[in-house]
A and B are shown apart, each in its own frame.
Chain A
Amino acid sequence: QKEVEQNSGPLSVPEGAIASLNCTYSDRGSQSFFWYRQYSGKSPELIMSIYSNGDKEDGRFTAQLNKASQYVSLLIRDSQPSDSATYLCAGPAGGTSYGKLTFGQGTILTVHP
């Protein structure tokens, strides 16, 4: 079983709507998670990190971590066409990891005008 799973997508939302991206993880001991955005042909860039249970907001982005249910989500409010990209969820690889992350397969988001 993959350590981090992104099952949703591709996702298409109209401009101005809320986009909801989800990720589940298998290691109950995982403490921190990251959301990366990757535009086509470009490298991943960090948009959010979350280390504790609950919500973390940064502008139009909200990351949610629910440790009891072992899921992480990313909400994008007032979605813009420029948000169209692949979103990668990442969590710790576990054990003696030396900073290794395990990445989900990614969710392709398209925001249409």
Chain B
Amino acid sequence: DVKVTQSSRYLVKRTGEKVFLECVQDMDHENMFWYRQDPGLGLRLIYFSYDVKMKEKGDIPEGYSVSREKKERFSLILESASTNQTSMYLCASSTGTSGAYSTDTQYFGPGTRLTVL
């Protein structure tokens, strides 16, 4: 079974803090993704990575950065947390065996519910 884990299920931070969300997958997947999910807005892609140290912006990258130093780990960084970043953050991974035009199944972690006060 594919396993995607996230460092925290619930997190409370203060405005202006630097926040790190960690995601680890154990299936040697090439692709990893960070989404946020908000009521009425659905799943929105923040950043994704298709290889170690390779990353691309998704639909809403502003206020976020990412790091992928090892294949299994993909970190989302909120440089200076703001209240509008309160959300459910979901990490996902997929095999990426088809390369640039892949349409592989994405497997999600349990999510981190972040509250910024």
CB within 8 Å of B: which residues of A? 31-32, 34, 36, 42-46, 49, 88, 90, 92, 96-101, 103-106
In the complex, what distance in Å separates the CA atom of A95 from the CA atom of B110? 29
In the complex, what distance in Å separates the CA atom of A104 from the CA atom of B102? 19
Tell me which residues from 85 to 117 in chain B have a Cβ below 8 Å from any Cβ of chain A.
90, 94-96, 98-111
Q: How many A-B residue pairs have CB under 8 A?
A: 63
CB of B74 closer than 8 Å to a CB of A = no
> Contact between A98 and B31 (Cβ–Cβ < 8 Å)?
yes
Name which residue of chain B comes closest to A97, CB basis.
B101
Residues of B with C-beta under 8 A to A49 = 105
> Contact between A43 and B103 (Cβ–Cβ < 8 Å)?
no
In the complex, what distance in Å separates the CA atom of A36 from the CA atom of B106? 10
Partner of B56, one of A98, A101, A104: A98
Partner of B103, one of A46, A96, A97, A103: A97
> Contact between B42 and A44 (Cβ–Cβ < 8 Å)?
no
Tell me which residues from 35 to 57 in chain B have a Cβ below 8 Å from any Cβ of chain A.
40, 42-43, 45, 48, 50, 56
Residues of A with C-beta under 8 A to B98 = 99
> Contact between A99 and B43 (Cβ–Cβ < 8 Å)?
no
> Contact between A92 and B103 (Cβ–Cβ < 8 Å)?
yes
Partner of B43, one of A45, A97, A98, A103: A103
Name which residue of chain A comes closest to B45, CB basis.
A100
